[in-house]
Amino acid sequence: MDDGVLIGEVPSIDEVEWVTLGKEMRKDTLKTLNEDAKGLATLGSSLLLVYTGALTLFKLPENASYLGLGIMAIPIVLWLVCIFFASSINFSELSRIYVNDPNDVKDFIEKRIKEKYDKLIWSRRLFILSIAASAIILFLGGTSFQEEDPAPQTVQFLVSDNSSPDFKNASISVNESTGKTDPVKLIAVSDEAYKVKVAQGTVVEFNKDMAKAIIYN
């Protein structure tokens, strides 16, 4: 200090360059945030289409329960919120600013940078959560969300006299007086055959032509 004058060190060339670089980076911050947000919104939209397309391709929603459909919708909601946050960074905002006041300009820019940065952080977090949730659901293949198969129906078959021995050979008892089989569990029906489960637990499949009619109990 000499006569009230502060004498400091002359900054080096490297220090001047670093300060200049810092000012340029700060000046471009808003532009960088906007570009990052656009890229994230575009990528999020693309991955949302991939996820919904995968659900359709694997036909996961077709036999899903209401709970399963709700779980499958979680990534979709996350993607949409992520895209909203990313897109909102580029939304225009009406603000009163005095361009001739350096402090007002500085405060405005600092506020805008913080708002955009916070939204971008939330958008990135949601992006990661969306990817994780989508991957888990697609990896599981929706098997946990499928409705349980309904219990087999109890049925009886009306058989002709000449088919009665064939039913008995297949361990299906037939009442000779009524021409009806004992009750069995109907497991599946195809164009040509019935598949049933008898009282002993045996699964039997026989041609539809062997039965005159089917009686649902």
Close Cβ partners of 72 (under 8 Å, ≥ 6 residues apart) = 55, 60, 61, 64, 137, 142, 145
φ, ψ dihedrals at 211, nearest 5°: -115, 135
Residue 215 to residue 157: CA distance in whole angstroms = 6
Residues 6+ apart with CB under 8 A from 157: 167, 172, 180, 181, 184, 194, 210, 211, 212, 213, 214, 215
Q: In tens digits, what is the pLDDT along the chain, a chain of 217 residues?
A: 455 555 557 667 766 667 666 666 666 787 888 888 899 999 999 999 999 888 887 777 666 677 878 888 899 999 999 999 898 888 766 566 666 677 777 787 788 888 888 999 999 999 999 999 998 888 876 555 554 556 678 888 888 777 777 777 777 888 888 888 888 888 888 888 888 888 877 888 888 888 888 888 7
CA dihedral for 139, 141, 145, 149, sign (positive or negative): negative
Residue 159: name the closest of 195, 200, 117, 212 by CA: 212
- Give the tokens for residue 212: 């005159």
DSSP secondary structure, 107-176, as one string: HHHHHHHHHHHHHHHHHHHHHHHHHHHHHHHHHHTTGGGBPPPPPPEEEEEEE-GGGHHHHHHTT--EET
pLDDT tens profile 43-98 = 999 999 999 888 887 777 666 677 878 888 899 999 999 999 898 888 766 566 66
CA dist 140 and 155 (Å) reads 36
Report pTM.
Answer: 0.55
Helices and strands, counts by H and E, the chain: 5, 7
Name the 3-class secondary structure at 203: strand
